[in-house]
Amino acid sequence: MKEKTKVVFILGPTAVGKTFFGVQIAKKLNGEIISADSVQIFKGFDIGSAKVTKEEMQGIKHYAIDILQPWEEFSVYDFVEYTKQKIEEIANKRKLPIIVGGTGLYVKALTLGYNFGGVNKDVNLREELEDLARKKGNDYLFELLKKKDEKMAENTDKFNTVRLIRALEIALSNGQKQTNKVEIESLVFALNRDRKVLYDSINKRVDGMLQNGLVDEVKHLKSLGLSRENQSMKAIGYKEVLQFLDGEMDYDRMVEILKQHSRNYAKRQLTFLRGMKDVIWIDTQNVESAEREMLEKIKEWMKK
């Protein structure tokens, strides 16, 4: 029986220091990093996603950064398939795969197995459905879906062409869901710190993003034709600025809402991590002791 590939996960809420610790661990243990962030995958989404910079990478190879154009879609299924391939590539180089990020659904799919209603993509079927959408519209596709799977139709937004086509792909495959179990052995760290300190860090991060040009970044993305209909523009930091640019709120209100949404997201991330089994919690208040504890636990785990 083939031995499972060992993979370290460094997870946690926004602004807790995941990027920093990921790089430090990778430097000391000959690792490479795969980002588990659903926004950093998009080109041009730099400031609002707190995308890791070349300087922050410190020469450590990173994957799943800037791999998509901002108007493209990227599902959990796509992430799992991409990440499986990269884990294998890294392991074949005799390096340690380290997954760093905060997108809970991505992490769940990797650690528990993928079973979110996906099926293998049929390129020919996809092209046929896209052609039908162009020629006959979403209403026609929605009626097809209703005939094939009424329950799925009830849970599908008929105005979202991408999701409508994906739902039809699943329905036309007779609903055969693909469970995509990733054969890895995981060591999962959840970083945290005192809530007040964390929330202060989040508020300061938002202020820094705005000072560094977040509004101009969103203006540029908007000029490319992106709108709130795009998957990428639904991310925290982008949807709020877009509302401000569209005149739905003033600047001060936008800043207040953006900070509130960021704090709420951190809270949801922590709730998700508390629901995971076999997670090692690391308090990052003391950076040196946090790093030392992680290194010791990884080395002990690698020996087993």
How far is it, in rounded angstroms, from Cα 31 to Cα 49? 23
Nearest to 202 by CA among 121, 261, 139, 147: 261
CATH class of the domain whose range is 5-115+180-303: alpha beta
Contact 150, 218 (CB under 8 A): no
Q: Strands across the sheet with 279-283, in order?
A: 62-63, 31-36, 96-101, 5-11, 184-192, 279-283
End-to-end CA distance of the chain: 17
How far is it, in rounded angstroms, from Cα 220 to Cα 216? 6
Nearest to 108 by CA among 303, 289, 279, 296: 279
| Amino acid at the residue 186 | S
Q: Which residues of the chain have pLDDT under 70?
A: 1-2, 113-124, 173-181
What are the domain boundaries of the chain?
5-115+180-303, 123-172
**What's residue 118's pLDDT?**
47
Cα dihedral sign, 156-158-162-167: positive
Contact 52, 63 (CB under 8 A): no
How far is it, in rounded angstroms, from Cα 192 to Cα 281? 7
**Burial degree of 78 (CB within 10 A; 0-12, 13-18, 19+):** middle
- Locus of tokens 């946690």: 12
Record the pTM. 0.80
| Amino acid at the residue 252 | D
**What's residue 223's pLDDT?**
97
